[in-house]
Amino acid sequence: MDVSESLIAKLAKADVNAPMCPSRGVLEHVTSRWGVLVLAALLAGTHRFSELRRTVGGVSEKMLAQTLQTLERDGFVHRHAHPVIPPRVDYSLTPLGEEAARQVWGLARWTEEKVPQVLEAREQYDAART
């Protein structure tokens, strides 16, 4: 059994509840605050870095760069550097990234819809604690 077969055999038993399961890291990357928003922005199509920064309000350049690099490493984002001056880099979703983006975007939309209920629950909780 070579290394890739061994890895595949281990991952066939992936369990997000297991402390050392690699799926936990993947879950963290796609559900992080910036990960969700970057994936959602790229659902609309290819973006340049500056376009993504404008779309994902509040993200710093450093956090956007780290998030894009992480998502690229995980196979969710494709980075295309054009050989031109000035440099131009485009970001887009891979097929795997599109699948992940659709999943987390559904959750993001659901949270938008439920904000009034959450705010009401918080008020009730806070009132009961005082």
Residues 4-30 have pLDDT tens digits of 666 666 556 788 888 888 888 999 999
Q: What's the confidence (pLDDT) of residue 89?
A: 94
Express each pLDDT in 79-130 by its tens digit: 999 999 988 999 999 999 999 999 999 999 999 999 999 999 999 999 999 8
* Cα→Cα distances 100→40, 77, 83, 103, 112, Å: 9, 10, 29, 5, 19
1 pLDDT above the threshold of 60? no
Q: Where are the domains of the chain?
A: 20-129
Record: fold of 20-129: Arc Repressor Mutant, subunit A (1.10.10)
Which residues are 77's β-sheet partners? 93
Instruction: Work out the end-to-end distance of the chain between its first and last CA atoms, rounded to an integer number of angstroms.
Output: 62
The structure tokens listed for 109 are 């939309």
- Provide the whole-model pTM: 0.83
DSSP structure class, residue 74 = T
Q: What's the confidence (pLDDT) of residue 24?
A: 87
